[in-house]
Structure 1
């Protein structure tokens, strides 16, 4: 058989293993190792496996993953996410849809600490949903805003998605973080517009909340300054060049620990729980990266990237037509495969193809992350939807899926704007690094 046939069979085996419930990392390792054995022999496969394990865990830049995960866990335990929601609640909660908007803003703020969509959805679900239900918000808007807001965790820096993309494509983590700032703010604004439209069309979904006095508003804003300081130090430090991304992660984790101590929540059981969650999430991320680095050489040996590139060129769709076709494929695949898993599986083929068409690799990282965000709330396997369902088990899953639709359309609009105007993503990194 030709190498291309082996490549196709390898992807078929990979998707079969995923469908059978095999963990993504193990699926990538098994298929990558077996494919390399068939194409280059056992010795080459064994060398690839052992070499990639060592090479992955010794990459200095990957230190950023456990540090930012630790920062997010510390911040969550310190109650910083609740502070941010409470501040937004007291400032804009009296407006139509104000609590839903406060949820989006809380998710955006917490995203700048956690870098995880799941963590954002879980944390804000526990904080925001009871408040929205207390003020008789409709279940669709309440759960939809939590599930959609959580997706900001992998777009607003620091983002685990950007780190993995950077490592797999050998791009700058700092540039990708800065590239995510304006698109993250744009998507947050589009989500707020979606809430405004929903409340206009269905006023009963979002009754007005209570009006708070100026003293209560100022007190809540003052209490929320902790999260603002950490964001300013980490993201501002990267922007000014005072910190590298790894150093910013370490400094941010330190200040989050200080907040935990100041608030007298730094107990041994709490520290144990934070450490366990950090190690668990970090181990999963590293395991997936090791699997991806074993799978990628097999894909290269199969010549599939070049074959697919030639086929796409033969369609004469042009750069944007080809990009549209690929992004459509991601949207469809994202309905069935978790976002980061889809990223590590497909990047070996898609990245050289799209960059070869003349698109900027940093801009592509932003576009890819937004498409993966869409998959997080797309039926039938939208991970964030099921996360919200676990937090609010009394709400039917179909209600949550109905609630995310306005936000899903807001993602489409945001994606279209970034494709049409690439400077939305490239303005800050180009100004910093050029």
Structure 2
């Protein structure tokens, strides 16, 4: 088998996706047919056992639980109160409610694990207020699309769970590795807003000074999400629970909080469960397809072939990562984040490990590249999500124009992490030695 055959297989998958064949079908087609062509029925027959074993792992069980947690936060009214509290505290900063968008996305990300859910949730809450206060559409939509990307970086993250399963990496370490970069990236977004969009919404908006007592009182609305985040992450790093058990704890605590708020009902429960099931189904189908492809890749020795091919160029680790940045940016323009993740991890991880790059650090690298894909036209998922929330019939170009500056911020941040990997690795290394 040669690198040409590996390239042909990858190209066939991309072509199938570009002609609108579902991602899972495209991956399975190449994985199963390729395995059958080289090894016949015995290889295909063993695929079922591999998929069954992997999908029954505790890490995969955490996916529907975190999906359900995000749904309860949205439909239980916790996210609305969170946004109102941040608006009171951040409204007087240059950029006003745009900072509220970023802060709410960051905190919602710390409990939901999904970028699309974060962008949709915060966008639904924020857009009416932003339009009422005459914020420019591009600034409003761009901050929501970019802020939503934090959902797959700040733990707990569905994409980090998937990466951990595919790369056989510790989910606990991945969650720890994503926390500091997630916070720093949110701060960079706010710095950009303060410097370049400080006048947004101020032209016709008269600021009303809010009494300190009201401000302090609003902080109670942040207790619930911070408590949920503290329990989920604290139980993992305190050694009391696995990621799956911590997700279950988060769901139970969220249900208790919603009940205390007087918003619990059978209709709410059914709605949340059904939506979480749909989202989980889509994620697990793509993951299953990736696992089938992995069987063929492993048996054919494709990872070794690609690793040897790349080693022939004698790239340094920095050069290899810079090449991967270009590759992922181009791929992300035409593919959604989850598909990009499951399609490339089986090949990319052995390649970068052979180059001396830590797989935990690379997990954050690839998640950041997935974030960029979420707001890169023409197929950036978050761009379509926030555009779909508009009620003014505005142009899609508004969203693209507003989100592009954040793409460059994230690219610069990725380069920073390449030269300062301690930003990613300090917390997981510290917890490992604690």
Task: Sort the TM-score into its range (normalised by shorter chain).
Answer: over 0.9
Partner of 1:349: 347
Q: Say what the alpha-carbon RMSD is for the aligned residues.
A: 1.8
Q: 1:312 to 1:233 in 2, by over 3 A?
A: same
| Deviation for aligned residue 1:410 | 1.6
Aligned residues of 1:37 and 1:45 also touching (Cα < 8 A): yes
Deviations 1:45-103 (A, max 9, x none): 1221x213312331122111111111111111111111111111001112221200011
1:165 matched to 2:154: no
Aligned residues of 2:106 and 2:150 also touching (Cα < 8 A): yes
1:66 matched to 2:64: yes
Q: Report matched runs for 1:7-22 at 5 Å.
A: 7-22=6-21
| Deviation for aligned residue 1:213 | 1.4
Aligned residues of 1:114 and 1:153 also touching (Cα < 8 A): yes
**SS of the residue 2:173 aligns to:** helix
Q: Which moved more, 1:385-394 or 1:154-163?
A: 385-394
Partner of 2:228: 230
Aligned residues of 1:118 and 1:384 also touching (Cα < 8 A): yes
TM-score (norm 1): 0.95
CA distance in 2, matches of 1:217, 1:84: 13
1:338 matched to 2:336: yes
Partner of 2:273: 275
| Deviation for aligned residue 1:262 | 1.5
| Deviation for aligned residue 1:237 | 2.2
| Deviation for aligned residue 1:201 | 7.8
Total equivalences in the alignment: 432
Aligned residues of 1:3 and 1:301 also touching (Cα < 8 A): no
Partner of 2:414: 415
CA distance in 2, matches of 1:172, 1:268: 37
Tell me, which stretches of 5 or more residues in structure 1 are unaligned? none
CA distance in 1, matches of 2:30, 2:243: 33
Aligned residues of 1:97 and 1:208 also touching (Cα < 8 A): no
One of 188, 191, 216 as aligned partner of 1:190: 188
CA distance in 1, matches of 2:379, 2:207: 33
Aligned residues of 1:93 and 1:208 also touching (Cα < 8 A): no
CA distance in 2, matches of 1:123, 1:209: 26
Q: Which moved more, 1:147-156 or 1:319-328?
A: 319-328
Aligned residues of 2:17 and 2:23 also touching (Cα < 8 A): yes
Partner of 2:76: 78
Aligned residues of 1:138 and 1:206 also touching (Cα < 8 A): no
CA distance in 2, matches of 1:133, 1:208: 15
CA distance in 1, matches of 2:357, 2:140: 38
Partner of 1:249: 247
| Deviation for aligned residue 1:303 | 3.6
| Deviation for aligned residue 1:23 | 1.9
Q: 1:206 to 1:132 in 2, by over 3 A?
A: farther
Partner of 1:311: 309
CA distance in 1, matches of 2:350, 2:105: 33
Aligned residues of 2:95 and 2:199 also touching (Cα < 8 A): no
CA distance in 2, matches of 1:432, 1:206: 49
Aligned residues of 1:136 and 1:206 also touching (Cα < 8 A): yes
1:380 matched to 2:390: no
Q: 1:341 to 1:112 in 2, by over 3 A?
A: same
Aligned residues of 1:182 and 1:425 also touching (Cα < 8 A): yes
Q: Which moved more, 1:196-205 or 1:360-369?
A: 196-205
Aligned residues of 2:177 and 2:364 also touching (Cα < 8 A): yes
Aligned residues of 1:96 and 1:208 also touching (Cα < 8 A): no
Aligned residues of 1:335 and 1:378 also touching (Cα < 8 A): yes
Deviations 1:138-174 (A, max 9, x none): 1111000000000000000000111000000111101
Partner of 1:291: 289
